[in-house]
Amino acid sequence: MDAVRATYYIESSFPVKRCAEIIAMEESTGTWTEVHTTEGKDLDFVTAKVEDVDEIRGKAVIAYPVDLFEVRNIPQLLSVVAGNLFGLSDVANVRLLDLEFPNEFISQFRGPAFGIDGVRDYIGTKEDGRPHVGTIIKPKVGLNPEETAAVAYEAASGGIDLIKDDETLCDQRFCPMAERLPLVMDAIDRALSEVEERTLYAVNVTTGADEIAERADIAEENGANMLMIDVITAGFDALKVLRENCSLPIHVHRTMHGALTRNPAHGIAMDVFCRLTRLIGGDQLHVGTLTGKMEGEETNILHLDSILKEEWHGFKPVFPVSSGGLHPGCVEEEIGKRGMDLVLQAGGGVHGHPYGTKAGARAMRQAAEAMALGVGLEAHAAGAPELSRALETWGIGKIENYYR
């Protein structure tokens, strides 16, 4: 059967197999009672079937026939594989762990336009293969366009590869996108003439799918070199619109994911969002840190990295983004365990440097270069004053008791 296969974790007083059968029925052709409209009708072509059950681990695989889907419609896909099943009274907890797509589904999507190599080509790091370092404009909101550009200039002139808007900044009246974008790009151009290194600016174009193409066009007309989308709040269809209607790399933020992913027994695993992002065409995706302030288990984060980077239906690999509470002292563990193909996104860890934003950017770059050279942070800091001061301030490794 040509089908979308969904793997679930299930908790219930009923056997896992019985619960999986209930889910398959609810999400395809069944309902809670016999109905006359099915008499004499063969609905096998759209009936979901339980294919595999592991009663000990509480897992089941359900195959949903392709004919059940409007293949290019991601919202409709999610209404099936992640729909009413979460509210079924017979199921105490259920978690969508992963999805497997048939070729008919895969062939309808483009995947990333740039991927890791394409982004590296733009920055100029394909040869040395060093990790990329990024920052977020801080404070998160409240700066006007001129102030935003001034912060961007300091970061770019310090050697930052990627500057991004915060996920909460879009087109508010205190900082309209069409006003801040040209100023930020001018600031980046001024920095380029000084440091001779390109910087990407991921401008947040998040809005509804009906308006996002127009907003992306405005961004391109104003000189944007990267777009950003809050994919869960905007919807995966909005990401599809960007991928199919713009020529820029796309930075994907996962804000609100914790409402769906954090409970290990219920909701939707981040694995699913990684697969959908790569299928549809994001070039970078936030997947969490090993050392930062956001909740995340090491084995799982490394697994998410592998989903984004492994060979998968010929799609280009996606750049994993590590963000949330990072500073230069975190770089050694992040890169040591996750490899060089990683974007290290530091907000407070750049702008909170005692010597200012430019020094914070340099410290992050110096930490990344230490890893590319194969030397430790402390050894490299001996000849790198910005890194040395950062390590004195925050130490090496995770900071405990954030916000306390």
Active-site positions read 138, 253
Task: Classify each residue of 359-371 as buried b or exposed e, where b means 16 or more C-beta atoms within 10 Å of its C-beta.
Answer: bbbbbbbbbbbbb
Whole-angstrom distance, CA of residue 62 vs CA of residue 87: 18
Alpha helix segments (H runs only) across 224-287:
231-234, 236-245, 258-261, 270-280
DSSP labels, 28-51? TT--SS--GGGTT---GGG--EEE
What token pair was written down for 15?
A: 């056997």
Whole-angstrom distance, CA of residue 399 vs CA of residue 395: 8
Whole-angstrom distance, CA of residue 278 vs CA of residue 240: 11
Q: How far apart are the first and last CA of the chain?
A: 54
264 alpha carbon, distance to own chain's centre:
19
Please count the CA atoms within 13 angstroms of the CA of 369 that sit on its side-chain side.
15
- Beta-carbon count within 10 A of 263 CB: 12
What token pair was written down for 395?
A: 């130490």
Let me know if 354 is exposed, middle or buried by CB neighbors in 10 A (0-12, 13-18, 19+): exposed
